[in-house]
Amino acid sequence: MADFRKDQAEGLRRLLDRSSVHIMTVASGANGVGRTSTVINVAAGLADRGRRVLVIDENYGPSNVAGLLGVRARFDLQDVIRQDCSLEEALLEAPGGITILPAARGVRALADLRQLDQERLIAGFGRLNDRFDDVLVDTRCGNGGNPGFFSRVVEDTIVVSSAAAPTITESYAMIKRMGGHRGKRRFHLLLNGVTSEPKAQLIFDNMERVSRSHLDTPLECLGSVPRDESVGNASRMFQPVVEAFPTSPSATGFKRIAESIAGWPGARDGSHGLDSLMQRLLTSSNSTFATAGA
């Protein structure tokens, strides 16, 4: 039987906090550090805390969020833009209590939208504001590439890195590139697959000191996840590790990170809705393609 008092308290919390959707991008300076796995498990950790989580996926292929969770998309953001389906119809329900919006094809079509189509898309995203508490964007960053589309307009970015020196260097370079884009930025470093907590803390301290000295970009420590074969085992089961092996060291690490994220304040500039996100993304896409001569 449902706990009425718990449901009532949760409903009141969402009513009071309905304007504060937490939107964050998850990026990495190099491939192979477990960025998409991190997205999945942080999202599942947030869902495990009773939060409603949307993952917007900018990536193609079988190793994107939907592929790693064993679900297949019938529609995506491009189909929404073409009006072949509604935004709600493009959403996928996945293991771990996660909802996914496949967006790899759609983001590239944003710059060509007419005003009426832009307004329709903004309104569609606005309808999702009351449906989700947290939004994670799995970006296309990696191997020296430019940040994904959503990364340019979202204030909070989780930077996933391993403890290896080359990936630390790539992460720093990516933070430097992204810090140069307009708008306020907060970067949160997450070290994945570490062998010891003291080593992780040493890496963070060094990066934070260098960033403070050479970049006008805040860098905060989000935490670390230990190396653990349970992550790979869960992936082969098409499940988040926090669901398949909830007591494993990696699951504990992801849950701790999710707990930290759940305590973040809402956006300070009042632009915390999904409709505001899409408005900024459309403006950024138009500017980017105009500059490139598209």
Let me know if residue 271 belongs to a domain: yes
The crossing angle, in degrees rounded to 10, of helices 35-48 and 249-262 is: 70
**Model pTM score:** 0.88
CATH of the domain at 157: 3.40.50.300
Let me know if residue 55 belongs to a domain: yes
pLDDT at 103 over 60: yes
Q: How many domains does the chain fold into?
A: 1
The residue that leads in pLDDT, 94 or 265, is 94
Phi, psi values for residue 154, rounded to 5°: -110, 135
The predicted pLDDT at position 31 comes to: 87
User: In this predicted model, what pLDDT tens digit does every residue of 284-293 receive, in sequence order?
Assistant: 876 554 444 4
pLDDT at 108 over 90: no
Let me know if residue 4 belongs to a domain: no
The residue that leads in pLDDT, 144 or 259, is 259
Which structural domain range is residue 129 located in?
Answer: 21-292
Let me know if residue 107 belongs to a domain: yes
Phi, psi values for residue 92, rounded to 5°: -110, 135
Let me know if residue 78 belongs to a domain: yes
- The candidate with the shortest Cα–Cα distance to 290, out of 146, 111, 148, is 111
User: In this predicted model, what pLDDT tens digit does every residue of 133-158 receive, in sequence order?
Assistant: 999 999 986 545 566 788 888 989 99
Long-range CB contacts (< 8 A, 24+ apart) of 270-276? Answer: 272/19, 272/20, 272/21, 272/22, 272/23, 273/19, 273/21, 273/125, 273/126, 273/129, 274/21, 274/23, 274/125, 274/126, 274/128, 274/129, 274/132, 274/135, 275/122, 275/123, 275/125, 275/126, 275/129
In the block, which residue shows the tokens 């499940």?
239
Let me know if residue 8 belongs to a domain: no
